[in-house]
Amino acid sequence: MIEEAKRSFEQQGFMKTLGAKIIAIEKGMVKISCDLKESLTQQHGFFHAGVITSIADVACGYAAFTTMPEGSDVLSVEIKTNLMRAAKADRIIATGKVIKSGRTLIFCEAKITDEKEETLFATLQGTMMCLQSKTKQ
Amino acid sequence: MIEEAKRSFEQQGFMKTLGAKIIAIEKGMVKISCDLKESLTQQHGFFHAGVITSIADVACGYAAFTTMPEGSDVLSVEIKTNLMRAAKADRIIATGKVIKSGRTLIFCEAKITDEKEETLFATLQGTMMCLQSKTKQ
Amino acid sequence: MIEEAKRSFEQQGFMKTLGAKIIAIEKGMVKISCDLKESLTQQHGFFHAGVITSIADVACGYAAFTTMPEGSDVLSVEIKTNLMRAAKADRIIATGKVIKSGRTLIFCEAKITDEKEETLFATLQGTMMCLQSKTKQ
Amino acid sequence: MIEEAKRSFEQQGFMKTLGAKIIAIEKGMVKISCDLKESLTQQHGFFHAGVITSIADVACGYAAFTTMPEGSDVLSVEIKTNLMRAAKADRIIATGKVIKSGRTLIFCEAKITDEKEETLFATLQGTMMCLQSKTKQ
């Protein structure tokens, strides 16, 4: 499902808008980077909480997707971001991981850090849902 | 603080990127609209969960801001989105409201609906923080 | 499913421990009361956040349950409590409601108030899951 | 603040009701155990989600407390539990840790496992607040 995850990611117009890139992907883990530009800022020029949440959601979603049976689709059920400090950085990295994978629901967590993955800006907990392909049911 | 809220909103580069607009604002309530375009989509062409969360976060943030003393700044502490159905709509509306306003923390909720505010796509719970103006401390 | 909800509630040893009672139940809504006693307190003698969350979770769970097909079972997937003020009251009421009911997942919200339902102490967002009866699958 | 944390814990009537015990405590980390008894069960005889959430909340709260200045008090602002599997165990352990400690807000996470800390039943994200001693303000 890793190639399928990459293809699906490419189809998200919003990820292009953010300039987000998958920089690592393996079963149960996806890492996404995003570079600061004025179009992504909050009122003080830092990364907007919405950008942070968006790439962390997608990192979790595709981390979950890589653990699903072929032909599945992934849906975010709920996402929760803790915003610990202003994301003052030129680049942020969201690392999404599967914590518990069930048949229907996949519990994931993401960390959002600076490029060196040293400063933690935010964490996200997300519940993802596996939608079975209709042609297969 | 309503004029200050509008000015601060204008300074968010990310809201311009989303094409988001404040369409109503009063003390404790902010309504934001966002129109579908390809640059805001997930893999199936609907509004991305990140876009939904972003405008709901901002609606709550500025709803909180309108209740703060002059010179304050607002910060999102944590936001939680429940994504109930795919946001299949040409325009979405996020209505953020203050539920409980404290001196430091403001608890808010937002609903994200279609343009007629009939179909509920998502809800957001958010905790916002009031940062006192440095010149006043 | 209303009678089944009441029976299932009676089987929760923990609800007996809390002295919690269903005081209203209809399709999609359950109201639970709980009286203050020393065995339910935090360090200052008020209702413990855990008690508040517990009865709100159960109010949402059984609100969801009343909308499910016969023979189903309900499971809490995730619950999130916003604690707005200390619950200084002799009795608290948790009112759980279904916000969106799907085949598998049911999104619910609860308010936790004083007995007159005037002072809001906390809110809860919860995602509940419908488990189909094995004998029917 | 470790001795103060233990004393405060002893004052929580609800922890006595649960039979919860602090089994480890250091700066930024608290571990709490709780044994299964009928008074703590949901409808199938396993640990109630409310019990799981309660001990995880307290583990996070006192983990936060140990990082606060003397004379402070701790308050749960919001707690969010992901319930990954039924807690089928004779004893559960909640390990709460401080993730980011600010002057006012402390972000914490807890894991709830079996006694061997091998099976993960649930995770909790919580935001705690530091209330300054009134005598010091």
pLDDT digits (tens, 9 = 90+) for C82-137: 999 999 999 999 999 999 999 999 999 999 999 999 999 999 999 999 998 654 43
Q: What is the pLDDT along chain B (137 residues), one digit of tens a residue?
A: 999 999 999 999 999 999 999 999 999 999 999 999 999 999 999 999 999 999 999 999 999 999 999 999 999 999 999 999 999 999 999 999 999 999 999 999 999 999 999 999 999 999 999 998 654 43
Residues in chain B within 8 Å Cβ distance of D105: 77, 129
CB contact under 8 A, C120 and B99: yes
Residues in chain D within 8 Å Cβ distance of C88: none
CB contact under 8 A, A17 and B14: no
Residues in chain C within 8 Å Cβ distance of D39: 13-14, 16-17
CATH superfamily ID and name for C2-136: Hotdog Thioesterase (3.10.129.10)
- Listed as ranges, residues in chain A with pLDDT below 50 are 135-137
Residue listed under structure tokens 């409201």: B97
Q: How far is D120 from chain C (nearest CA, A)?
A: 14
Q: Domain limits of chain A?
A: 2-136
Residue C104: which of A78, A80, A104 has the nearest Cβ?
A104
Q: What is the pLDDT along chain D (137 residues), one digit of tens a residue?
A: 999 999 999 999 999 999 999 999 999 999 999 999 999 999 999 999 999 999 999 999 999 999 999 999 999 999 999 999 999 999 999 999 999 999 999 999 999 999 999 999 999 999 999 998 654 43
CB contact under 8 A, B80 and C107: no
Q: What is the largest CA-CA distance in chain D?
A: 50
**CA–CA distances in Å: residue A44 to residues A40, A54, A92, B132, D48:** 11, 19, 17, 15, 44
Q: Which ipTM score applies to this complex? A: 0.95
Q: What is the pLDDT of residue A137?
A: 38
Residue C37 phi, psi dihedral angles, 5° rounding: -150, 165
With CA atoms as reference, the chain A residue closest to C105 would be A77
CB contact under 8 A, A129 and C105: yes
pTM for the model stands at: 0.94
Three-state SS at D87: coil
Cβ contacts from A onto C, under 8 A: 15
Chains that touch A (3 or more CB pairs under 8 A): B, C, D
Q: What is the pLDDT of residue D134?
A: 56
Q: What is the pLDDT of residue B24?
A: 98
CB contact under 8 A, A107 and D84: yes
With CA atoms as reference, the chain A residue closest to C80 would be A80
With CA atoms as reference, the chain C residue closest to D129 would be C83
Residues in chain B within 8 Å Cβ distance of D80: 80
Mean of per-residue pLDDT scores for chain A: 95
CA C91 to chain centre: 15
Structure tokens at C103: 């085949």
**What length does chain D have?**
137
Helix, strand, coil shares of chain D, percent, nearest 5, are 30, 45, 30
Q: What percent of chain C has pLDDT over 70?
A: 96
| Rounded Cα–Cα distance for residues C61 and C55 (Å) | 10
CB contact under 8 A, C80 and B80: yes
CA-based radius of gyration for chain B:
15
The DSSP result for A78-115, as a single string, is EEEEEE-S---SSEEEEEEEEEEE-SSEEEEEEEEEET
b/e for B57-73, b at 16 or more Cβ within 10 A?
bbbbbbbbbbbbeeebb
Residues in chain D within 8 Å Cβ distance of C12: 41-43, 48
With CA atoms as reference, the chain D residue closest to A111 would be D99
Q: How far is C52 from chain D (nearest CA, A)?
A: 9
Three-state SS at C120: strand
pLDDT digits (tens, 9 = 90+) for C37-83: 999 999 999 999 999 999 999 999 999 999 999 999 999 999 999 99
Residues in chain A within 8 Å Cβ distance of B18: 50
Q: How far is B48 from chain D (nearest CA, A)?
A: 23
